[in-house]
Amino acid sequence: MSINKILKKIFHKKDNTITCRTELTIAGIKFKFYNPQLLKYPDYTKALNKVRKKFQNKEKIRVAFIVNENSKWNAQELYRLMEENDYFEPFVLVTLLYDVHIGKDKTRNNIQENYDFFLQQGINVFKAYDENKHAYINLEKFSPDIVFYQQPWGIADEQNIDKISQTALTCYYLYGMSLFDTDIEELVFHKKLFLNFLQHENSKNGIKIKLKKNEKVVGIPKLDVYKNITIQTQNTNTIIYSCHFGYNPKNAINIGTFPWSGKAMQKFALEHPEYKWIFKPHPNLKNTLYQDKKYGKEFADKYFETWNKIGEIKEKGNYFEEFANSDMLIADSGSFLLEYIPTQKPIIRLSNKNSKTKFSDFGNKIAQGIYQVYNFQDFINKFNEIMQNNNDPLAEKRKELAKSIIGKTSASQKIIDELINIAKKSTD
């Protein structure tokens, strides 16, 4: 046997130019790592010229929001402002998470549910997935000039940035809020975007970095909806409980507390029917429980069924009216903590004392208005203190925080202004 054949058996290298990761197999052991040499920034020249030509000819620029989970819909106000703007023609394209497409996840919304969600709100929506053929539809069919991605994962190759960038500019901003410092690497997705709109300087997915050429700071577009919502000031005895899926130490985030809070919270709710309970789980919770040998499908289905009997399960997007009409949020998540602050209502965070994920500087600022507990008895004590004794010492702090995160100029408007400035450059 030749040396080359021996080396091929011992050592094998495989490159993935889409994810920019290299897989090395050495003596049967696989190693995967990010390889910056594989990164190729898309050429947006053609797409940019198309946008500028349309602007010059006073044609509407078609803006597509590609959505694979309506529960994470984050562009309500941006869509509304674009719809009212003479320069843009916004529409939503619903598609499937890749894990749902391949049958790995059977718990998420199907295409029709996502489609109906937007249709009921009067949003111009199309299906970018063929249910009969079980196949993704090339986005070129819808002739978008700009595409906003909802999230950086679960994207099929047929609809990824490499494909879209040939005919459209790609944009993104966080569907949630970044409150944590994490050691998760910056994704290739972010590097290939035409524009990545950030919450605030030197923060992206919790990572402190310097701004790059394709990054613009605009604030938090998702929270712009509060400008058009009336906060309920009268008590409604409505409690929202949100449960995160990242309760396993092996999870990169590991902020969830389901092992000590999941069943206990359900029991507590059953014992307190005087409150209206809304269970708002993370979209990935049920699938995580399905895959967990400790719990499994039977447990997860029964757990969700019980919550449905106790109160309501709310898993769809556009939940800010629910927030505004509630009296308290109980959560072990991250994003909801910030999203609830503008209501100025009490927040109890169920905290994982073993988690290595810590608040960022921004997160610590928000945490000043949040009650944090580390076991269920402490939760009960804090809940009773607030709801029964009407003792809420952090009320003024939340009021101060609410004013600071809801700016006078909407983040959505800043995005629109930036896109218009880019589109009109050739006519200056």
Question: Distance between alpha carbon 302 and the CA centroid of its chain, in Å?
Answer: 27
User: What DSSP string runs through 176-213?
Assistant: S---EE--PPPPHHHHH-SEEEESSTT-BTTB-----T
DSSP annotation of 122: T
- pLDDT tens by residue, the chain, 428 residues: 565 555 455 656 676 666 666 666 665 667 675 566 666 789 999 999 999 999 999 999 999 999 999 988 999 999 999 999 999 999 999 999 998 899 888 887 689 999 999 999 999 999 999 999 999 999 999 999 999 999 998 899 999 999 999 999 999 998 877 788 764 446 789 889 999 998 876 554 444 556 788 999 998 899 999 988 899 888 899 999 999 998 887 777 789 999 999 999 999 999 999 999 999 999 899 999 999 999 999 999 999 999 999 999 998 888 999 999 999 999 998 889 999 999 999 999 999 988 888 888 888 999 999 999 999 999 999 999 999 999 999 999 999 999 888 877 799 999 999 999 999 986 54
pLDDT of residue 425: 82
Of the candidates 310, 254, 268, 69, the residue with the CA atom closest to the CA atom of residue 302: 310
Q: Tell me the CATH architecture of domain 228-405.
A: 3-Layer(aba) Sandwich (3.40)
* Comma-separated ranges of CATH 3.40.50.2000 domains in the chain: 45-224+408-427, 228-405
DSSP annotation of 393: T
pLDDT of residue 206: 47
User: For the chain, how long is the longest CA-to-CA vector?
Assistant: 82
pLDDT of residue 58: 94
Q: Count of alpha carbons within 13 Å of 72, Cβ hemisphere only? A: 23
pLDDT of residue 202: 52
Q: Tell me the CATH architecture of domain 45-224+408-427.
A: 3-Layer(aba) Sandwich (3.40)
